[in-house]
Amino acid sequence: MRCGLAVALLAAQCSIAAASTSVPGDPARGAAIYDRCTACHALAYNRTGPKHCGLFGRRAGSVPGFDYSPAMAQAKFTWNAETLDRFLKNPGRTVPGTTMGYAGIADPRERADLIAWLRQATTESPDCRRH
Partner 1 sequence: MIARINPFAALEDIGRRRFILGSGALLSASAVALLAGRPALAAEYGKKKGADTQSDVRILNTALGAELEAIAAYGVGAGSGLLQKPALDLALQFQGQHKEHADVLAKTVRKLGGTPTEAKARYEFPTDQLKTQADVLGFAAGLEKGAVSAYLGAVPLFRERELAKAAASILGDEAMHWAILRQALGENPVPAAFVA
Nearest to 38 by CA among 121, 95, 124, 116: 121
Choose one: 7-15, 18-26, 69-77, 123-131; the region binding ligand HEC (CB under 6 A).
Answer: 69-77
Of 100 and 128, which CB lies nearer to ligand HEC in the complex structure?
100
Cβ at position 80, least distance to ligand HEC in Å: 11
Residue 94 binds which entry of partner 1, ligand HEC, none, CB below 5-8 Å type-dependent:
none
Among 20, 23, 101, 130, binds ligand HEC (CB under 6 A): 101
72 or 116: CB nearest ligand HEC: 72
Which region, left, alpha or beta, applies to residue 36 given φ > 0 means left and ψ of -120 to 50 means alpha? Answer: alpha
Sequence-ordered alpha helix ranges (H) in the chain: 8-20, 27-33, 70-73, 81-89, 91-94, 108-124, 126-130
Q: Which is nearer to ligand HEC, 10 or 56 (CB)?
A: 56
The reply on whether position 117 binds ligand HEC by CB under 6 A is: no
117: left (phi over 0), alpha (psi -120 to 50) or beta: alpha
